[in-house]
């Protein structure tokens, strides 16, 4: 009966609870609003209104994706990831609709049509890096960041304070204000999720370009023509021989000489730039390297720059010579 009524009105109804909102219900509603656009959001605890809605998030006492039910508060709920992390409403919605959300965002914001498998792999990665922590915060098993500036805390900060409620003058005005703030929180959450998708789509598309980059100096040096490509993990994981990377910085029109991180969790490099270059700029670096258009070398010896490719290549050869000693 609920579905027939909504069919005739042509309006999808998405229900979540009224009162204070949290990151898990904001995230879940944001995802559904993208995958099923143009619907009406209602915030209520009225069982009949919830029953008539097409989707019920964080309310309703039922987890049934086929029926559009995504609650985790019911007695006996034991839904958990393979890792053991319990689902809250964000994770329940993401589990069912995350891949579709990724595909829609990738096409709309990155101009990329993704295969079902690639979209699902990105959805898994976003769950692992972001969504599960919203669930953990909601279920009380962990905070998603220390202090008051984890994503869950930031979203919670969109809730009106008791002073706002007092100034609203009535319960209806207060709830209308809370709905407006919920929508503001959705806009913020949408930006976070879109950025998550765009970053991973970009990384996925960059893989082949980095793999096809030009090896130099017997494979110990790699030249990447577009310095904006995220190359570090590919080089670290797949190119054990590469000690340095030259890339072209398209906006500053200069060539960058990079060290290669040895691992993901340290600043240690496979090989450092020459210690004598540390912190030098302009004429001082030119004198130390013999490269007239040398620009700078970072004090921590992980990056240097020259205006020309030949200049960067000369510096790279000096760095390789030192590394071989």
Residue that is written with structure tokens 């006492």 in the block: 61
The pLDDT tens digits of the residues spanning 228-282 come to 898 998 999 999 999 999 999 988 899 999 999 998 777 799 999 999 999 999 9
> Would you say 20 and 60 are in contact if contact means Cβ atoms under 8 Å apart?
no
* Residue 291 and residue 315 in one domain: yes
Question: Are residue 178 and residue 254 in the same domain, yes or no?
Answer: no
- The residue among 92, 120, 93 whose CA lies nearest residue 32 is 93
| End-of-domain residue from the set 152, 174, 205 | 205
Contacts of 65 (CB under 8 A, 6+ apart): 92, 95, 96
pLDDT value of position 144: 63
Domain membership of residue 227 as a residue range: 213-324
Do 236 and 97 share a domain, yes or no?
Answer: no
Tell whether 36 and 178 lie within a shared domain: yes
Domain final residue, candidates 205, 226, 250: 205
Last residue of some domain: 205, 234, 265?
Answer: 205
**Domain match, 269 and 201 both:** no
Is residue 156 located within the same domain as residue 298?
no
Q: Indicate whether 23 and 126 sit together in one domain.
A: yes
Instruction: Output the pTM of the full model.
Output: 0.79
Kindly list the averaged pLDDT for each block of 10 residues, start to end, along the chain of length 325. Answer: 43 94 97 96 96 97 97 94 95 98 97 96 96 93 72 94 91 92 98 96 90 96 93 93 96 95 86 97 98 97 97 98 93
Measured distance CA(303)–CA(243) in Å, rounded: 12
Residue written as token pair 């979203």 = 155
Answer whether 25's CB lies under 8 Å from 16's CB: yes
If asked whether residues 298 and 159 sit together in one domain, one would say no
Same domain, 52 and 175: yes
- What pLDDT score was predicted for residue 3? 42
Q: Are residues 201 and 219 in the same domain?
A: no
Domain count, the chain: 2
Quote the pLDDT of residue 10: 58
264 & 160 share domain: no
């Amino acid at each position: 009966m609920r579905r027939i009524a909504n069919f005739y009105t042509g309006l999808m109804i998405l229900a979540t609870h009224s009162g204070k909102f949290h990151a898990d219900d904001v995230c879940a509603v944001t995802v559904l609003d993208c995958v099923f656009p143009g619907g009406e959001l209602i915030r209520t605890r009225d069982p009949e209104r919830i029953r008539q809605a097409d989707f019920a998030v964080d309310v309703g006492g039922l987890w049934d994706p086929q029926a559009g039910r995504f609650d985790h508060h019911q007695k006996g709920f034991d839904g958990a990831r393979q890792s053991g992390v319990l689902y809250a409403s964000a994770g329940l919605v993401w589990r069912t609709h995350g891949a579709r959300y990724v595909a829609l965002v990738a096409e709309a914001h990155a101009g990329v049509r993704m295969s079902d498998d690639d979209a699902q792999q990105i959805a898994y990665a976003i769950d692992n890096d972001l969504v599960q922590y919203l669930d953990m915060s909601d279920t009380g098993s962990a905070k998603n960041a220390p202090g008051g500036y984890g994503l869950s805390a930031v979203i919670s900060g969109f809730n009106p304070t008791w002073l706002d409620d007092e100034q609203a003058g009535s319960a209806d005005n207060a709830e209308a204000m809370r709905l407006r703030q919920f929508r503001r929180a959705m806009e913020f959450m949408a930006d976070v999720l879109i950025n998550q998708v765009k970053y991973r789509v970009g990384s996925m598309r960059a893989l082949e370009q980095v793999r096809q980059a030009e090896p130099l100096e017997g494979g110990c040096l790699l030249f990447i023509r577009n310095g904006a490509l995220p190359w570090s993990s590919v080089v670290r994981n797949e190119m054990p021989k590469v000690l340095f990377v030259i890339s072209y910085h398209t906006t500053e029109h200069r060539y960058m000489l990079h060290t290669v991180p040895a691992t993901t969790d340290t600043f240690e490099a496979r090989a450092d730039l020459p210690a004598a270059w540390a912190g030098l700029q302009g004429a001082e670096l030119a004198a130390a390297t013999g490269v007239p258009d040398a620009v700078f070398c970072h004090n921590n010896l992980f990056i240097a720059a020259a205006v020309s490719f030949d200049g960067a290549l000369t510096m790279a050869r000096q760095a390789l010579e030192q590394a071989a000693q």
